[in-house]
Structure formats: structure tokens, C-alpha cells
Amino acid sequence: MLADLLSEIGIAMTYEESLKLFLGKSWIDSLLIINKLLGREPPPDLYEIYTERMFREFDNHLLPVPGINQVLQSITSDYCVASSGPHIKIRKTLGVTGLLPLFEGKIFSSTDVENGKPEPDLFLHACDVMGYTPKQTIVIEDSPAGVQAAISAEMKVFMYKPFQDKKDLSDNSEVTTFNSMSLLTRIIDRA
């Protein structure tokens, strides 16, 4: 959605390029990148248009990651969501996928902290509120920005990469990469 919208306002962008530039980053951080690429301020309603289109797609096509429901039901430790998205987006995605009841009272957004991913602020905030230390915490991530935030917070990090090749951050000895949620329970048990 974002790649298409940016192309409409004058920034030619592919899906792959948008993932590299924006995946795992807050809207504020993404907007800085957009301003730089565009060379001027984007239309003032860019975020509203993006959110409207994105939510429509969520309503029509969003499904939970295969296996995530079973994983969440098998985890006996506390867990939460700590996302770069705003609360409204997090609640929308969890609601559409039927996962919201599993996360009520355990949702953290980059809007809750001063600095979003790749800074560690969000994960440290979630840790503090949940009553854990970084060393007691495991982070499951799907973005390079989130992996960097977890490493900076000195947390154990697992990167979910279902489609991409296993290069870049998976070559980092601090990161365990996996490609199927059905593997996650065993990975956590070994951590």
C-alpha cells in the first residue's frame, strides 16, 4: 500500500524497496524518509489516505500468520505486542485476525516512547511495564529495525523470515532465524 501511495505522489517505489526502507519503523521515522526522498513535505493527508487504504485491505485480506494461534496458546510465560505501529493499527490487525483478546492489556506502541525502532526504547518500556529485565526477555521480530532494537536492548532475539532468504541479520550470531511459526514453541523452549 505504501509503495503504491508513494509512487502516486512522485516517489517511484517498488514493494521490495518499501520493505527495506520502512518495515518495522514508526510513521514519524518513515515520514522523515519520505520527506527526504520527495524533497518537500508530502500532502498533509498522506497518513490518513495510507491508513484508510491499509485498513480496507486488512478488512478484506488480512489473516493471522499460520500457526500463531497455536503458539500463543502453548506459551506459558507472559507475552505482549511491542510494535512500531500506532495503537489503532495494532488493535485493527489483532482484531481482524481474531488475536486481540490474547493481547488485551499487553499492547505497546512506538507512540508510547520517545524513539521508535531501531532504538531500544519500545522494548525496554514493554519490559519495564511487564515487570521483566531485558535479560529475561525474548523478542520475536520480523524486521531489521526491530532486530536491531532488541540487540541494543540486550534481549534474546528470534527473527521470523518466512519468505526472504536467510542472509543479512540471520548471519549475526545474536539472532536466531526461523521460517515457520510451528517452530517457535520449540525455539523458545530451547532459549
**Domain co-membership, 186 together with 99:** yes
pLDDT at 191: 78
3-state secondary structure of 177: strand
pLDDT at 22: 94
Show the domain range for 140: 68-190
**Domain co-membership, 90 together with 184:** yes
**Domain co-membership, 50 together with 22:** yes
**Domain co-membership, 165 together with 78:** yes
CA torsion angle for 115, 116, 120, 126 (degrees, to 10)? 100
> Which residues, given as ranges, of the chain have pLDDT below 50?
166, 169-170
**Domain co-membership, 157 together with 182:** yes
**Domain co-membership, 72 together with 51:** no
Q: Count Cβ atoms within 10 A of the Cβ of residue 40 and give its class: 0-12 exposed, 13-18 middle, 19 or more buried.
A: exposed
**Domain co-membership, 53 together with 76:** no
**Domain co-membership, 96 together with 140:** yes
**Domain co-membership, 13 together with 73:** no
Single out the residue in 20, 45, 61 at which a domain terminates. Answer: 61
Domain count, the chain: 2
**Domain co-membership, 91 together with 176:** yes
Residues 29, 113: Cα–Cα separation, whole Å:
13
CATH of the domain at 171: 3.40.50.1000
Single out the residue in 20, 41, 61 at which a domain terminates. Answer: 61
The Cβ of residue 25 has, within 10 Å, a number of other Cβ atoms equal to: 22
CATH of the domain at 42: 1.10.150
> What angle, 0 to 180 degrees and rounded to 10, lies between the N-to-C axes of helices 144-152 and 121-130?
60
CA distances from 59 to 1, 15, 53, 98 (A): 14, 20, 10, 12
Residues 149, 151: Cα–Cα separation, whole Å:
6
pLDDT at 173: 67
**Domain co-membership, 74 together with 23:** no
pLDDT at 170: 46
Single out the residue in 61, 79, 99 at which a domain terminates. Answer: 61
**Domain co-membership, 51 together with 111:** no
**pTM of this structure:** 0.88
H or E, element range at 160: strand 156-160
Alpha carbon 136 to its chain's center: 20
